[in-house]
Structure formats: structure tokens, C-alpha cells
Amino acid sequence: MGFDSSLPIYQQIIDAYKKSLIRGEIQTGDKILSQREYALKARINPNTVQRAYREMEMIKMVETLRGQGTYICATDIMLEQFKEEMAGQVLNYFISEMKSLGFDDHEIKNRLNTQLEGGNK
Amino acid sequence: MGFDSSLPIYQQIIDAYKKSLIRGEIQTGDKILSQREYALKARINPNTVQRAYREMEMIKMVETLRGQGTYICATDIMLEQFKEEMAGQVLNYFISEMKSLGFDDHEIKNRLNTQLEGGNK
Amino acid sequence: MGFDSSLPIYQQIIDAYKKSLIRGEIQTGDKILSQREYALKARINPNTVQRAYREMEMIKMVETLRGQGTYICATDIMLEQFKEEMAGQVLNYFISEMKSLGFDDHEIKNRLNTQLEGGNK
Amino acid sequence: MGFDSSLPIYQQIIDAYKKSLIRGEIQTGDKILSQREYALKARINPNTVQRAYREMEMIKMVETLRGQGTYICATDIMLEQFKEEMAGQVLNYFISEMKSLGFDDHEIKNRLNTQLEGGNK
DNA sequence: GTGGTCTAGACCACC
DNA sequence: GTGGTCTAGACCACC
């Protein structure tokens, strides 16, 4: 429940839900936190949560029943898309971090291979 | 100047300075922010900043001149160590993120190759 | 620049732009009012205007150039959709108003025919 | 209780009462809001309300008993007239909206028939 | 100047 | 209780 500064908070909320879906921690049909609960737990403004929830609703990732709450309604196809999207983000972030540390493409690949073989925790 | 929740904040402060050094944004001889200034800008507790600065002093990455401020004093060898250290962190974070999205070692390598060839902005 | 109370203001802003597009008063490529200007003229909060502009951007009806302004970028196909959408709204509003005045389907048709033939200003 | 900009507000007040009468929401003998109450609820100038009430009195749609309030006193014949009047307004508004969207007489009739048959909620 | 994000808080509608 | 809309206003980034 901590937010870093690179992406807008509402986007981080959405990404976190997408990741939870991919990992199977939540699934279609599940009720998610109410906007107020989320805002309280994350100590952010309810309006910020609402923007995230509204955008998730617009892409039909969740559906909202007035007075009842918000429910996941993502299809398997959407899950695949989210997985691609999140993987792309993770990859780009990784590559840009490595490059900013001074590694070129070749070195990045080598380091990854070494790390994967050497066994990372 | 935003901190996420995974690492202790003082550690994130140190890492940020290490990365700035590697990237050449700051170098040996440069004066860095006073603890007070840092705490104000980052809106964190001065004690947290103090711990970070103390640890950087212990490994002789910076030195503090009383009444004058804190100065970078890292050697080239230290820079190399920092680079390895930071690369390891970035790699481990990348690998664990990809795995939590459901990718195995083979897929991770493939994705990286594709992304590097496809050209990421 | 007056808003009635039935639809949310941000929706009325969007509908007004859709109608202007259909009527040819504005067209693709045109720059529209800045959010601040619109808010000032309509005497509403800039945040309300922003929500309308953001939603128009999400459906690719306009595009926003940071620091420069917002421009219409609707395609002809979108215009056709907007026309259907607005016609549907107008029709439904008309029918519900007539029914609430006590007219049935048959009478509504008759009244419309009479009015169209009798010549309305 | 929201007013749009096309008609003068006092006229909109009168029309709203006429519609309420036609719909049977209020009837002859009922006491209506005091001018002061109306102005407060609708957040408009008391003078505007006064003009509406005065005009309703002139056509003997309401009567004001000093110190007691204002009461509906419309006859059935007046109700019929109001119904015609309101229907005419609704029709004219509908036709002008459809024409401004680019529909001709023939299309307007067709659309209405389709909508009525298709069943609008 | 432009738009983008966020907070704080009011008030409403639906249940 | 739930979400939806709106205002007021701060602060930021890009130009």
C-alpha cells in the first residue's frame, strides 16, 4: 500500500489490480474494496480511488453496482492483454534502469542469463 | 523523491545516491544536500536521512566536514562495486516481477530479446 | 452556456461538442476552448471541464497536446455514431415528455405528423 | 429544479407547474410553495418567482389568499389548453433539435416510428 | 500560457 | 452503507 512517484497514483491502483488478477489473487466475480475502504487503507483521497475505479469500469475490467460495491468482471482475453501489458511495463522499466546504469543490450542479456542460471532467490 | 514500500527508506536514499554516482550525475568532490534540506525536500523524517548519511559515511562513500556539509568521496573501485550491487538489485527485482506474472526462465529471456530487438523507447 | 439538471454537467459538455460537430459548427483539426476558458465562460469548475475533456480524449474524439491545447480529431465514422447517439437521446426525451403529458404512441405519431405538415417555424 | 438557458426562468416556472397539473402531480385546491420557499429551493431571485406567480394569477391558474398562501384553481378546460400548449412546445423543440442534427421531415417520422416500435425504455 | 494530478470536503442518489 | 458529481484550490510538468 505504498505508492512511488513515477506513475500517477490512480494508474498504480489499476496496475496493482491487474497484477492481482494475473497472479490469481483475485478473480472475476470477486468484490473488491469499496472506494472508501481503499482510500482509508492506502491513505489517499477517495477521489483518487474513484478515478481508478471509474477507469477500470470504462474498460469493463470491473462493474459497479450502485449502493452495493464494485466487482471484478474481467474476461480471460482481458487477462491475457493485462499480462502482456504488465510484462511490457516490467521489461521497459528493467531495460531503462540497466541502461541508465551503463549497460548495453549485450551486457543486459548476459547479466540476465548469469542471474537466471546462478539461481536467484 | 518518492519512496515505495519494499525497502527501508534510508536504504532507498543510499541506493539513489549510488545510482546517481554510477550515472555520473554526481561525482567525487561534489557537495550533497544537507540532511535537513534532504528531509524537507523528500518530506521524510530527519532521523531517517541521518541514518542514511551515517551509513554512507561508514563505507567511506561520503565524508562530512563539520560546519561545511557532506561531500562525495567515492573511489573508482567503489563505483564498480556499486554498479554490480545496483545491477543485481535491478535484475532480481525484474526476475521476481516477471515470475510473479507467470513467466518462466525461458520466457523471460525470450521476452527480453524481443523487447531489445523490437526497440523500446 | 446554461446547464439543466438532468444530465451531469460533464456529460452535457460532451454532448454539446458532439452536436456542434454534427452541425458542422466545428470540425476535425479545430482547436477548442482551453479547459480554463471553458470553465470561466460557463462558470463551472475547471475540474468538471477537465473530466469532460478527458472522456472526449479517451474515445479519441479530441486529442490533447500538453501546454498547447485540445483539438478535435473525430473521424467521419465517429460523426455518424454521434449523430445516431444524439438522435436517440432527442427521441427518447421527446417520447418520455409526450407520454408524461398523457399521450399514447398513436397520438404522438399523429401530433408529429400534424405539426410537420402544418409547418412549424 | 434546474433551469436551462433557452426560455426565461419565470416562464420555465410556469411551464413546470402546468406540466405538474397535466400529470396530476398537483391539482386544483392544492397549496403550492410560497414564493420565498420556491426561490430558496430553486436558488433563484425572489423577483423572478414573483413574476411567475403573478402571471399564473392573471390567467386564473392560481389564486393567492393573503396571509395563507397560493392555491391551484385551474379548471378542466384550462388543463386541456395547457396540455395542448405543452405538447406544442415539446413537439417544436423535438423537431428543431432533429433538424439541427440534419434530419428531414421524412427521416424524423421514420425515426420516431422505429423508436416507438423498438420500444424505448 | 496549457493540461494533469491530487487533496479536502460537500451533497446527492440508491440500498 | 455504497458510488457519483461537483466545487475549490494547490502544485506540478510542458511550452
Nearest C-alpha in A relative to B90: A94
The predicted model scores a pTM of 0.84
Per-position DSSP letters for A49-96, written without gaps between them? HHHHHHHHHHTTSEEEETTTEEEE---HHHHHHHHHHHHHHHHHHHHH
pLDDT at D118 over 80: no
Q: Is A95 in contact with B99 (CB distance < 8 Å)?
A: no
* Average pLDDT for C21-37: 95
Nearest C-alpha in A relative to B42: A5
B68 interfaces chain A, CB cutoff of 8 Å:
no
What percentage of chain C has pLDDT greater than the value 70? 93
B2 CA – F10 C1', rounded, Å: 19
**Cα separations (Å) of B10 from B21, C73, D50?**
17, 48, 69
**Cα separations (Å) of C80 from B17, C77, C85, D101?**
56, 5, 9, 11
pLDDT score for B8: 86
pLDDT at C33 over 60: yes
pLDDT score for C50: 96
pLDDT score for A2: 56
pLDDT score for D66: 86
**Cα separations (Å) of B109 from A21, A115, B105, B115, B120?**
23, 11, 6, 10, 16
Task: Give me D73's grid cell.
Answer: 384553481
pLDDT score for A121: 47
C-alpha dihedral sign at B10, B14, B20, B25: positive
Which residues of D are less than 8 Å from C103 in CB distance? 87
| Nearest of D83, D101, D15 to residue C91 by alpha carbon | D101
Q: Which of D100, D105, D112 sits opposite C91 (nearest CB)?
A: D112
Provide the mean pLDDT of chain C. 91
pLDDT tens string B20-44: 999 888 999 999 989 988 887 777 8
Q: How confident is the model at residue D17 (pLDDT cuts 50, 70, 90)?
A: very high
Per residue of chain A (121 residues), give pLDDT as tens.
456 657 899 999 999 999 999 999 999 999 999 999 999 999 999 999 999 999 999 999 999 998 899 999 999 999 999 999 999 999 999 999 999 899 999 999 999 999 998 754 4
Residues of chain B with pLDDT under 70: 1-6, 119-121
pLDDT tens string D63-107: 999 888 999 999 999 999 999 999 999 999 999 999 999 999 999
pLDDT tens string C57-88: 999 999 999 889 999 999 999 999 999 999 99
CA–chain centroid gap for D53, Å, is: 13
Q: Which nucleotides of E are covered by protein (CB under 7 A)?
A: 1-9, 13-15
Residue C92 Cβ < 7 Å to strand E:
no
